[in-house]
Amino acid sequence: MTMSSLDITVEGIFTANTEGSFVSHSIKEVALEFGGIRGDRHFGVTFPADARQPMYPRGTEILNKRQISILAMEEVEKVAEELGIDHIRAEWLGANLLVKGIPELTKLPVLTRFLFPSGAGLINEGENKPCIHAGNEVQRNYPQNETLARAFVKKAMGRRGIVCSVERPEAIRLHDKIKIMLP
Amino acid sequence: MTMSSLDITVEGIFTANTEGSFVSHSIKEVALEFGGIRGDRHFGVTFPADARQPMYPRGTEILNKRQISILAMEEVEKVAEELGIDHIRAEWLGANLLVKGIPELTKLPVLTRFLFPSGAGLINEGENKPCIHAGNEVQRNYPQNETLARAFVKKAMGRRGIVCSVERPEAIRLHDKIKIMLP
């Protein structure tokens, strides 16, 4: 089953390539590789297990299913609205892609495919659970509200987007139209 | 959530390493690698797209989510019973692992983990849809029944096991106890 590609677009592409920083910054296009975006902090076909994979000893080399993170503009706007703040930037959440036209992106089933005009393909590896790091970054930008970090984690649950693997590594460009294929 | 490991065991390990053949043969243990079982026809972190990935041109190098196939003894026995035949061997279906103690293996959600005593981990990439090749192999072993190949495809639907990626590459040994973790 394929959802219409007419109104699903890439509104932002980002990479988090600053040592020690969670925050990503905007780029105009990216040449994907197997493993994600070279230089990004989540790049790699494999990566060291962390707190999200407690079944393996910390640091064990395991398959990387968190290569590319995607945010839905509609979901982020709703979270900002409920938090009573003007906006949340995709960069603050360390996102790699910001898309428009999938209002419930986070609820898409695992294995849903995202197909791009270049032939690139991403595959949904599941919901990106909100963490306090992203919350802290939101709060840092609204320092007057001291409870924002924890409020973000709560309000963003189920709306913080997804993580994907690169299934076919080609280019993604700003304003690309995306075709969604349900599994 | 973790299911009891008490009664879930590895009853068979197999590799399909004969050029041009779908059929696997029994081995006693395997040292997994990222990509699966070296020498097996499904080995590889990436592999060429085929009929199961019609969204990519045939032969395109894509991420391999079909590295290891697992069959449940209980499901295979039920299919054989409904087909009115004495047994179906895991080898005929090109399986890599035969397990006992998960009666509805095929219905486990995507991203379910299989953890082995060595520390090895597999992760469920979804149902393995029955194909006519496996059906033909079943029929070849019961040549008196000419409709068996197509009957297999029908009866095995939802009971032909799953395919997995190697998440952590260590050893799997015959009679290993397996721990199941739901996503």
Q: Measured between CB atoms, does A113 come within 8 Å of chain B?
A: yes
Q: DSSP states of A115-159 as a string?
A: E-TTS-EEEEEEE----HHHHHHHHHTSTT-TTHHHHHHHHTTT-
pTM: 0.94
Cα–Cα distance measured from residue A158 to residue A78, given in angstroms and rounded to the nearest whole number: 12
Mean pLDDT of A64-86: 97
Of residues B43, B134, B129, B53, the one with CA closest to residue B94: B134
Contact check, Cβ <8 Å, B46/A34 = yes
Q: For residue range A8-58, what is the model confidence (pLDDT) as tens digits?
A: 999 999 999 888 888 889 999 999 999 999 999 999 999 999 999 999 999
What are A114's strand-pairing partners?
A: A122, A180
Mean pLDDT in chain A?
94
- Please name the residues between 136 and 155 in chain A that touch chain B, using a CB distance below 8 Å: none
Calculate what percentage of chain A has a pLDDT beyond 70: 97
Residue A6, pLDDT score: 59
**pLDDT bracket for residue A130 (50, 70, 90):** confident
Q: DSSP states of A75-124 as a string?
A: HHHHHHHHHT-S---GGGGT-SEEEES-TTGGGSPTT-EEE-TTS-EEEE
In chain B, residues with a C-beta closer than 8 Å to the C-beta of A121 are: 55-56, 62
Local structure of B93: helix, strand or coil: helix
Q: For residue range A133-174, what is the model confidence (pLDDT) as tens digits?
A: 899 999 999 999 889 999 999 999 999 999 999 999 999 999
Contact check, Cβ <8 Å, A61/B110 = no
Residue among A63, A111, A121 whose CB faces B126 most closely: A111
Residue B140, pLDDT score: 94
**pLDDT bracket for residue B1 (50, 70, 90):** low
CA distance B63 to chain A (A): 5
Q: Measured between CB atoms, does A4 come within 8 Å of chain B?
A: no
Q: For residue range A93-113, what is the model confidence (pLDDT) as tens digits?
A: 999 999 999 999 999 999 999
For B110, the closest chain A residue by CA position comes to A110
- Please name the residues between 27 and 86 in chain A that touch chain B, using a CB distance below 8 Å: 34, 45-46, 55-56, 60-63, 65
Backbone angles phi, psi at A132, to 5 degrees: -70, -25
